[in-house]
Amino acid sequence: MENSVKLDCRGVWKLYGPNPTAFLNKHGGNPDQDTMNKAQIIGAVRDANVQIHEGEIFVIMGLSGSGKSTLVRCLSRLVEPTAGHVEFEGRDLLSMPEAELIDVRRKKMGMVFQHFALLPHLTVLQNAAFPLDVQGVDRKTREARAHEMVELVGLKGRENYFPRQLSGGQQQRVGIARSLVAEPDLWFLDEPFSALDPLIRREMQDEFMRLQSMLRKTIIFITHDFDEAIRLADRIAVMKDGAIVQTATPEELILNPATDYVEEFTRHIPRAKVLRLATVMSPGAPEGNYAGDLQGGLSVADTVDQIEAESRPFRVINKNGEAIGTIDARTVIDVLIGRSGK
């Protein structure tokens, strides 16, 4: 059963230029690129439709200038859309009074950006507690909650450090603790790890997945790195020139790219990282002498060494432990060398 929709965005436009609302209305709410160019209108977001489900990690990706950060700012109404509808938990964000919107952002939404934006004169604990301080929560309560978040992100013992005494990865952990302290229902992360070196970035991705396994937040995550996207995402929206050109699971993007742009974007991603055993297996599992059972949700890359080491096939099972197919070394090799028909 599919989880309920947490955030519903339909027909959202963000145009920059002279009289963008009048321009959009004049052209029936759907101008083409040539018409916008002639009118000196920039389509930062063009007719975006996104439905974010409860508990999923939804990644928005694209090259620099594709509109992904602007779209996320429209979804949180940090930027006012030119047109469209955005509902959060069934409430219309775009018609919400300013005071109510600020309250929703403070109590329901958490945000982490590429630049850590820690307050340099506050300690780790004080930075983590800052959102609750703004809400007027008493000191004892906010510090107790901040202690929990600092420990959760692996910084226990550094509560009294200042940002200048921390590494880049540690500073980003403080930013994550701060964004979680108010227990948000929706978590926005805008390229949070892109300023980190590759080793720390990988460590932070691991940390992020650990936190998500514990907290099960609804997450909108922006990146331009497809490797990062396929590692983290339940679904991915690919943007180009302000428009969403495809929304799909990582597997679907690899197997069925909707456009030449998506195909080129995904061309160099190793298929073994993305394809799951349940996708490449042979359906059905007759009685036989199997090497063992493997979860269908595992990727080929996660299991290649185990499968190749055995002369016998493995059974593939679903989350309920039911056998749904088989997989052997030949199938895995086909995926690795690109010979798979999948």
Q: Does residue 147 lie within any of the structural domains? A: yes
- In this prediction, what percent of the chain has a pLDDT beyond 70? 98
Residue 100: count of CB within 10 angstroms of its CB: 12
Confidence at residue 199, expressed as pLDDT on a 0 to 100 scale: 83
Q: Are 259 and 245 in contact (CB under 8 A)?
A: yes
Q: Based on the domain organization, do 226 and 286 belong to the same domain?
A: no
115: amino acid identity, one letter: H
**Has residue 215 been placed in a domain?**
yes
pLDDT confidence of residue 195: 76
Q: What is the pLDDT of residue 312?
A: 95
Q: What is the pLDDT of residue 265?
A: 84
Give the whole-angstrom CA distance, residue 332 versus residue 227: 20
Q: Do 196 and 284 belong together in one domain?
A: no
| pLDDT computed for residue 1 by the predictor | 45
In a domain, 256, yes or no: yes
Asked, for residue 89, whether it belongs to a domain, the answer is yes
Residue 340's pLDDT is what? 56
Residue 98 has pLDDT above 70, yes or no: yes
Same domain? For 185 and 89 the reply is yes
Count: domains in the chain:
2
Q: How distant, in Å, are the alpha carbons of 300, 303, 323 from that of 291?
A: 16, 13, 13
- How many CA atoms are closer than 13 Å to the CA of 338, on its beta-carbon side? 5
The last residue of one of the domains, among 228, 244, 271, is 271
Same domain? For 60 and 122 the reply is yes
pLDDT digits (tens, 9 = 90+) for 141-165: 999 999 999 998 889 999 999 999 9
Q: 304 by DSSP, 3-state: which? A: helix
Q: pLDDT averaged over the chain? A: 91
One domain, residues 204 and 317: no
Range of the structural domain that residue 317 is part of: 272-336
Indicate whether 342 belongs to any domain: no
Domain match, 185 and 323 both: no
Q: Are residues 320 and 300 in the same domain?
A: yes
Class of residue 192 by CB neighbours under 10 A (exposed 0-12, middle 13-18, buried 19+):
buried
Element (H, E) at 127: helix 124-135
* SS3 state at 4: coil
329 and 297 in one domain? Answer: yes
Same domain, 146 and 178: yes
341: in domain: no
For residue 205, give the nearest of 217, 215, 195, 192 by alpha carbon. 192
One domain for residues 178 and 56:
yes
Which CATH number fits the domain that encloses residue 67? Answer: 3.40.50.300
Partners of 45 in beta bridges: 14
Q: Is the pLDDT of residue 79 over 60?
A: yes
Q: What is the pLDDT of residues 8-31, one digit of tens each?
A: 999 999 999 999 999 999 999 999
Average confidence (pLDDT) over 107-111: 89
Tens digits of residue pLDDT in 200-243: 888 888 888 988 988 899 999 999 888 899 889 999 999 999 99
Q: What is the value of pTM for the model shown?
A: 0.86
> Is 198 inside a domain boundary?
yes
pLDDT in tens, 39-75: 999 999 999 999 999 999 999 999 888 999 999 999 9
75's enclosing H/E stretch is: helix 68-75
Shared domain for 39 and 180, answered yes or no, is: yes
Residues 40 and 184 in one domain: yes
CATH of the domain at 321: 3.10.580.10
The answer to whether residue 207 sits within a structural domain is yes
Which of the listed residues 232, 255, 271 is the one where a domain comes to its end? 271
Tell me the percentage of the chain whose pLDDT exceeds 90: 71
